[in-house]
Amino acid sequence: MSVELPKKLVCIGAGYVGGPTMAMIALKCPMIEVVVLDINQARIDAWNSDTLPIYEPGLDEVVKACRGRNLFFSTDVKKHVAEGDIIFVSVNTPTKTKGLGAGMAADLTYWESAARGIAEVSTGHKIIVEKSTVPVKTAEAVEKVLRSCAGSNFTYDVLSNPEFLAEGTAIADLTNPDRVLIGGRETPSGLKAVATLKAVYEQWIPSKQVITANLWSAELTKLAANAMLAQRISSVNALSALCESTGADIQQVANAIGMDSRVGPKFLNASVGFGGSCFQKDILNLVYICESLGLKEVAAYWKQVVDINNYQKTRFVHRMISSMFNTVSGKKIAMLGFAFKKDTGDTRETPSIDVGLGLLADNAKLCIYDPQVKEDLMRRELSMGKFEWDHPMSQAGASVSNAALVDSNVTCAATAEEACTGAHAIAILTEWDEFKTMDFEKIFASMVKPAFLFDGRNILDHAKLRKIGFVTYCIGKPLDPFLSEQGAPCP
């Protein structure tokens, strides 16, 4: 099917998905004007500055290469939506905190608002693209809003184009993706819209990697992909608990399993648990959809992936407390890492939150260091209630459920060494490369004895640490003799 490339492409939402994705399209399609929109003036100002609002390796170079040429960031939503040929919508779809489906269902308030705003200012024909992660059949709901609000001179096609980016490697993922998925209605107009968006991506991505599907398959694929990846992490983390109880080594087990070509080695690293904005949110959304459709056994199956992840974080906290003579009250604990993974500043659903709160509940004194996460963000994350991180009112400070506890028991350090000085224990919670090269002999000398080290990412040389004198715990490996002799219980 022969189609013309769009002249102007806009994206509503300047976050972790919208900003990098549009920057890459602008870089690879210099003939297309690309405008990223957001109602948050501070965020747009940051995108237009030398300090971008998100940290992602390689992103600065991409933005600076085309910003002001064919890539623009603006708060003038109405003007640019009215002018756009393709409108991506990449707004938050947080987990509901109140009402029907609270704790599981996706809150589509921002999506509905975006759809109404598009209908209000649009004329002619536009292609509207779901870029946010949304429940199956969201496109149908969006079409109903548009049909109810649009004028007689506005026509549209709604497509699903889910993102499959991994934070920390987003630019590489955008440059050479495993696949790009586009879903649309199987009508003449819908097929033409799919072909138009496909032509944009084919400016730099081989045609065979740009695959098409119907709307509902595309919407479900995103949820299913994240559920499958998270399932692998929870599976290996469940086995890590068994390894500790039997003397097996989870890294040896995972390596042997991963050599099976039917399984593969990725996402088989045992850890303190998965985090990020997508995995838990998308699985809970999937669970809610299954329950709503009467598929209770299917819902229960996927719910266990989240339950095991929560168990792993709780187990890590219990191991820390029980190992340190069953109390951390008044003890300084150095938390190294707060981002949910290395090479990103994203803290959404990071395991560090639950680990930190678990230690604070036992009156620990936390000193946190992360090379990319600012102190005010760490404090805010620890102070907010569950599922509130993605709601604007919470970000404005509406929720301060743990604020007093955090203010009196949490400090932040400028370096990892500063965080560890005078500490009773170290907890490695993010796999930043700099933690592998620290002078642990010097750090050991500065700590209270016995000095404990809990490696929640299994990135360190544990034999070397024990030789230095650390009481060392690593996930899914035979216990340190100090812990074995102590017989510390761990649920």
The catalytic residues are 278
Query: DSSP 3-state assignment of 16?
Result: coil
Torsion of CA 105, 36, 65, 373, to 10 degrees: -40
Of the candidates 342, 338, 306, 335, the one whose C-alpha atom is nearest the C-alpha of residue 320 is 335
Cβ(426)–Cβ(332) under 8 Å? no
Judging by DSSP bridges, how do beta strands 471-474 and 452-455 pair with one another?
parallel
Of the candidates 163, 210, 159, 161, the one whose C-alpha atom is nearest the C-alpha of residue 185 is 159
Tally of CA atoms within 13 A in the half-sphere of 386 that contains its CB = 10
Q: What is the Cα 190 distance to its own chain's centre?
A: 31
Tally of CA atoms within 13 A in the half-sphere of 468 that contains its CB = 22
H-assigned helices in 131-278:
138-149, 170-175, 188-201, 215-246, 250-258
Cα–Cα dist 318/375, whole Å: 26
Is residue 466 classed exposed, middle or buried when 0-12, 13-18 and 19+ CB atoms within 10 A define those classes? middle
- Amino acid code (one letter) for 356: G
Q: 414: how many CB neighbours lie within 10 A of its CB?
A: 9
